[in-house]
Amino acid sequence: SMVESHTDSDSGPVVQTTPLVTFLQHVQLTAFRSYPKKQSADPKSYIDLSLKRPYTLSSIESAFEDLTSESLDMSVPVEKLERFVKQYFDGAGEDMLHHEPVDFVSDPSGFLSNVENEKVRDWAREVHGLWRNLSCRVSDSVRESPGRYTLLPLPEPVIIPGSRFREVYNWDSYWVIKGLMTSQMFTTAKGLVTNLMSLVETYGYALNGARAYYTNRSQPPLLSSMVYEIYNVTKDEELVRKAIPVLLKEYEFWNSGKHKVVIRDASGYDHVLSRYYAMWNMPRPESSVFDEESASGFSTLLEKQRFHRDIATAAESGCDFTTRWMRDPPHFTTMATTSVVPVDLNVFLLKMELDIAFLMEISGDKNGSDRFVEASKAREKAFETVFWNEKAGQWLDYWLSSNGDETETWKAENQNTNVFASNFAPIWINSFNSDEKLVKKVVKALENSGLIAPAGILSSLTDSGQQWDYPNGWAPQQEMIVTGLARSSSKEAKEMAEEIARRWIRSNYLVYKKSGTIHEKLKVTELGEYGGGGEYKPQTGFGWSNGVILAFLEEFGWPSHLSIEP
């Protein structure tokens, strides 16, 4: 019946992927079945393959059919599979070419003049030099025949995170750009913004990353912050003029449809906030084998689809994965990301409102600017009512009671009282860090939270084995909290900011000396250890980590007498 067909499957939006992605997903599944002992292989490496010329997708599909037709369990002898992959595909990463950044100089004038310690200076110059390794451009053939690639064409060169992340990422780019400002690489920074803007123009939002399998979701929205940072240094009004209509489009995406939620407070006032919500309810193609396995315990299609959407939505949050999104931590099958109204997402959107107001003001649109100031005030009020918890001295994520499609009445027990770094993210922005009384309260709470560890701030207090949990700390979360505390006028806050920054820099230095690389995350419970956990091996390179090291060194300097070694 009609009613049954409604409850049988999840009715949320789904953005279809490309035929190539679907096919490569089959190749990935077959490969994982065929290499029973090679479970350490990375499923993403299959989805990043491209079609070799002159073969067409349909010719390769039929060759693949021949290969697998004799097997009953969809596995293939390993040598045969390897021969097949070699014959028909170009390797992962061959779609990107090295690009020498036009604005790179090995020792820019006045570079980190506050870093007096020679050891630290030498290392900072090496970190600055890493931009060259991470700088690349999309090969011309991707533009000529996009159907052969999962990589999306982009107009300008990019800085990639590194290792398995061979394409540009949305929110990573903010911290990359912070570092590029220190490195005085303004052309490269603008190129990154131009690329993300072109994605917003094509898709209506900034994709998770520039791959065909990332078109069903976004990532934490920091494009306005990127434009703001670049404008602040370069005073480029042309960039501002181009950015405004794009930012308005992105703003609409996050404040409409499934992303929008309304919470009614006790006095009957409706607060409009946002949540993450991926337009996908199947296994993520880049991690298909893992997602099928994690969903295998669910018996109905509806349960599986909901679970897959919550997994893809966690990827949209940038924090994949963490106990923050679990109803019953640390049980992975209780992931319920779409049921959370997250503190950090709404910080990014409040910042977006303030940025748009600022940019409109510059461009002479006073009315538009006023409208966005009003919007920011409304969201600020929601922070006070929905997220703030006076007793905890921090802002808490809010659990939706229903599916979020209708207005819900606020209930105290729906605040998630578990402690996460993201509970302190609001301090990043001026609206909160300019209030000295509030800052003092938050600093006390942070001090007593258990999050401050020997090498920086923990993502959470729960050791779940997921990468956005204890014992890991991540560059973006360090930067937001440290920068926010440093901007306040409270002495304790400033001291705390500097202490955390020094721990983070030291630990990155020690990891670099030990491993020769910068890592994507650190294990912050010890000095000099890189992070682990999660669904892929620890990655190096690494875009946002380099960016935050350079930004911290710029902010705090390093005195000559202070040893970098513990």
Ligand X SMILES: OC[C@H]1O[C@H](O[C@H]2O[C@H](CO)[C@@H](O)[C@H](O)[C@H]2O)[C@H](O)[C@@H](O)[C@@H]1O
> Which of 208, 546 has the CB closer to ligand X?
208
Q: What angle do CA 37, 26, 80 make, to 5 degrees?
A: 55
Rule CB under 6 A: is residue 469 a binding residue for ligand X? Answer: no
Selected catalytic residue, list 520, 529, 535, 554: 520
- What are the backbone dihedrals phi and psi of residue 480, each rounded to the nearest 5 degrees, phi first? -60, -45
Residue 303, token pair as written in the block? 């349960």
Min dist CB 472 to ligand X, Å, is 11
Rule CB under 6 A: is residue 479 a binding residue for ligand X? Answer: no
Nearest to 447 by CA among 424, 479, 431: 424
Min dist CB 172 to ligand X, Å, is 5
Which residues is 326 bridged to in the sheet? 335
String of contacts with ligand X for each residue 197-236, x by CB under 6 A: -----------xx---------------------------
Rule CB under 6 A: is residue 315 a binding residue for ligand X? Answer: yes
Residue by residue, DSSP assigns 218-285 as -----HHHHHHHHHHHH--HHHHHHHHHHHHHHHHHHTSGGGEEEEE-TTSPEEEEE----S--S--G
Min dist CB 296 to ligand X, Å, is 19
The only residue of 167, 172, 291, 554 in contact with ligand X, by rule CB under 6 A: 172
> Which of 387, 468 has the CB closer to ligand X?
468
Min dist CB 209 to ligand X, Å, is 6
> Which of 165, 395 has the CB closer to ligand X?
165
Residue 305, token pair as written in the block? 């689809």
Residue 331, token pair as written in the block? 């049980």
State yes or no: cis peptide before 221, omega within 30 of 0.
Answer: no
Stretch that binds ligand X, among 131-139, 267-275, 284-292, 433-441 (CB under 6 A): 284-292
> Which of 208, 490 has the CB closer to ligand X?
208
Asked if residues 274 and 383 have their Cβ atoms less than 8 Å apart, the reply is no
Q: What letters, b where the CB count within 10 A reaches 16 and e where it falls short, cover 72-111?
A: eeebbeeeebeebeeebbbebbbbbeebebebbeeeeeeb
What is d(CA 449, CA 55) in angstroms, rounded to the nearest whole number? 58
For residue 520, indicate whether it is catalytic: yes
What is d(CA 425, CA 429) in angstroms, rounded to the nearest whole number? 8
Min dist CB 10 to ligand X, Å, is 19
Selected catalytic residue, list 320, 355, 469, 535: 320
Min dist CB 322 to ligand X, Å, is 9
Rule CB under 6 A: is residue 183 a binding residue for ligand X? Answer: no
The only residue of 95, 250, 286, 408 in contact with ligand X, by rule CB under 6 A: 286
What is d(CA 59, CA 535) in angstroms, rounded to the nearest whole number? 33
String of contacts with ligand X for each residue 376-415, x by CB under 6 A: ----------------------------------------
> Which of 286, 469 has the CB closer to ligand X?
286
For residue 238, indicate whether it is catalytic: no
Residues that bind ligand X (CB under 6 A): 44, 161, 165, 169, 171-172, 208-209, 284, 286-287, 315, 318, 320, 520
